[in-house]
Chain A
Amino acid sequence: DAKTTQPNSMESNEEEPVHLPCNHSTISGTDYIHWYRQLPSQGPEYVIHGLTSNVNNRMASLAIAEDRKSSTLILHRATLRDAAVYYCTGGSGTYKYIFGTGTRLKVLA
């Protein structure tokens, strides 16, 4: 199964951009890269996904490396409400979506 690696925690100041990295070196060529976040006492929430090109939506941007072995979730202006655990996940050529330990983002006021 594909494995993802993320830093355990990161900090950001409010209103500043945040770049959350993910390594997914074993992902197969046709698998999409998904990002989710989990707020306290809630289930994970979809953030964004992509295959090869960079993607933007109202929540964030996703930058995917040309070799697809890594990606970066970009929050353009962090707010206190963005404090959460962020997970990247990629399929492994099957339908399994395996979540790693995620990155706990702390946003400082």
Chain B
Amino acid sequence: DARVTQTPRHKVTEMGQEVTMRCQPILGHNTVFWYRQTMMQGLELLAYFRNRAPLDDSGMPKDRFSAEMPDATLATLKIQPSEPRDSAVYFCASGLNPGRRSYNSPLHFGNGTRLTVT
């Protein structure tokens, strides 16, 4: 089965350090989503890409977070500088959207990057 791959699985860092999380979407998928999950907030949508273009990043703190897709096989989420409140599990998901308004195909999630900022 094709899978979304996220690296690293776990990351512990000190406040102020830069953190980069990577995602390899399923080959052929043209949409990528980044979500953050915490006990308090649940699953929050951070950013959405279609055909490598960022369509929505309104859920992302702009001053410290950035998301990019350097190519179709790699999506990155960067935090600089990191803060303890960024501690969470970050999920990447990919899917295939032919361009219609409504999403008629499943999202496939990776197993996440668990980030701890001390």
Contacts and interface: CB of A to CB of B under 8 A. Distances in A.
Indicate the member of A34, A42, A44, A101 with the most B CB atoms within 10 Å.
Answer: A44
Contacts of B108: 46
A95 B110 contact: no
**Interface residues of B toward A: which range?**
20 to 34
A50 to B, nearest CB: 10
A91 B107 contact: no
A85 B93 CA distance: 17
A95 B103 contact: yes
B56 A36 contact: no
B9 to A, nearest CB: 10
A98 interface: yes
B34 interface: no
B103 A34 contact: yes
14 contacts: A41-B111, A42-B111, A42-B112, A43-B111, A46-B106, A46-B108, A49-B104, A51-B104, A95-B48, A95-B55, A95-B56, A96-B45, A97-B107, A98-B45
B70 interface: no
Contacts of B55: 95
Interface in B73-89: none
Interface in A23-39: 30-32, 34, 36
Interface of A: 30-32, 34, 36, 41-46, 49, 51, 87, 91, 93-102
B104 A99 contact: no
A103 to B, nearest CB: 12
Contact of B50 (A34, A91, A95): A95
Given A43-B112, A44-B43, A46-B108, A97 B101 contact: no
A99 B42 contact: yes
A93 B112 contact: no
Given A30-B102, A95-B103, 15 more contacts: A32-B103, A36-B109, A42-B111, A43-B91, A43-B109, A44-B43, A44-B91, A44-B109, A49-B106, A51-B104, A94-B56, A95-B97, A97-B33, A99-B35, A100-B42
